[in-house]
Amino acid sequence: MSLSVAPGPVTREGTRTGTEASIDSLTAPDIPWNLVIWNDPVNLMSYVSYVFQSYFGYSESKANKLMMEVHKKGRSIVAHGSKEQVERHAVAMHGFGLWATVEKATGGTGGNSGKSGGSGQGKGKRG
Amino acid sequence: MAKAFKYGLKGITGFLEPAERELLRSLIGDVISMLQPAENSSKDPLAALIGLDMDVQEPTDRAVRRLLPNVMKDDDGASLEFRQLTERSLRETKIGALRAAALDLDKDDVVLTADGARHWSMALNDVRLVLAERLDIRDEEDAEHVHLMQDWSQAEDVESYLALVYNFTTWLQESLVQAMLQSLDSRA
């Protein structure tokens, strides 16, 4: 959703050097990555919820909602951030034995896009 | 018979019979030996020190692959690169949790701190993932089928024995996680 190529604040003056420009394009700070948890028939629902609560510090209701999404839809985006951040989360999830992958948040594909963080609990909210 | 884990004043406590502890010890030992990195890999001492292992390949054994999955769904190259940077330390994390759980098996009564409980839950989970691969549990239906196997007098072949062991470790992990969730609640 945030693949905009608008240069943003750097245009305020015409004195930008070539070096700065290339750093800007290298870091691409506005392209987030997603941490995806996949369903599998082995991991206990209680355990998955426990991991979401204890590792991410999510509330019981948020952890359970994400866990049910994994269970029913087959996958859920449970966190996003920079590539390094979500990779670190993925290794931690593998440590717990959850099946986790990282992916670039492109929006549009899959059940939920990169918008599901924060207050987003509009769709799929069922007991 | 083992007693379900409970959360109380002493922390998380449980009880296991000697035969059950012996069984868990050997299961944990099996998983540890599957996770032990190959001796000949990464001869470069500096690389080994920082956990880098350029000789690492995607595991061929299904169960090991489930314990150490690819980090990207559709990019084997990037996944392998990431594996070279992280797999060694992930193996060590898992082995650490498994060893910690095995040490707690030396007494009849299991009394766990928060960290100890976390190690136990990780260890039991890895044991179950390996058993599930051996039992060929691919979907919820397979899991249900295995779950029906509850009577030890029916254990007449390797598969039914494995199914019973799987169900025992599932029950044990479920009771542990319920106790851990209670301890999270009481802290909040």
Domain-wise residue ranges, chain A: 29-104
Confidence of residue A5 (pLDDT cuts 50, 70, 90): very low
For residue A43, give the chain B residue with the closest CA: B125
d(CA A102, CA A90): 7
> Nearest CA of chain B to the CA of A111: how many Å?
16
Tell whether A83 lies on the interface with B, counting CB pairs under 8 A. Answer: no
* Residue A49 in tokens: 């919820």
d(CA A35, CA A85): 9
pLDDT of amino acid A11? 38
Greatest mean pLDDT among A15-19, A113-117, B59-63 lies in B59-63
pLDDT of amino acid A19? 44
Please report the number of interchain residue pairs, chain A to chain B, with beta-carbon separation below 8 angstroms: 76
Task: Return the number of other C-beta atoms located less than 10 Å from residue A90's C-beta.
Answer: 26
pLDDT of amino acid A107? 60
Q: Could you tell me which residue, A20 or A101, shows the higher pLDDT? A: A101
pLDDT of amino acid B55? 81
For A29-104, which CATH class?
A: alpha beta
pLDDT of amino acid A125? 33
Domain-wise residue ranges, chain B: 3-38+94-187
CB contact under 8 A, B122 and A53: no
* A56-108 confidence digits (pLDDT tens): 999 999 999 999 999 999 999 999 999 999 999 999 999 999 999 999 998 64
pLDDT of A6 > 70? The answer is no
C-alpha closest to that of B132 among B121, B122, B120, B144: B144
pLDDT of amino acid A123? 35
pLDDT of amino acid B185? 85
* A42-69 confidence digits (pLDDT tens): 999 999 999 999 999 999 999 999 999 9
Of A42, A54, A103, nearest to B73 by CB-CB distance is A103
Of B73, B138, B170, nearest to A101 by CB-CB distance is B73
pLDDT of amino acid B65? 96
For residue B70, give the chain A residue with the closest CA: A101
CB contact under 8 A, B72 and A102: yes
**A56 CB-contact burial (10 Å; exposed 0-12 / middle 13-18 / buried 19+):** middle
What is the dihedral sign for C-alpha B126, B181, A64, B2?
A: positive
pLDDT of amino acid A31? 67
* Residue B111 in tokens: 């009394």
pLDDT of amino acid B42? 55
- Give, for all 188 residues of chain B, the pLDDT tens digit: 889 999 999 999 999 999 999 999 999 999 999 999 876 555 677 777 777 777 889 999 999 999 999 999 999 999 999 999 999 999 999 999 999 999 999 988 899 999 999 999 999 999 999 999 999 999 999 999 999 888 888 788 999 999 999 999 999 999 999 999 999 988 66
Integer CA distances (angstroms), A109 to A1, A33, A85, in order: 11, 14, 22
pLDDT of amino acid B1? 80
The mean per-residue pLDDT over the stretch A23-48 comes to 81
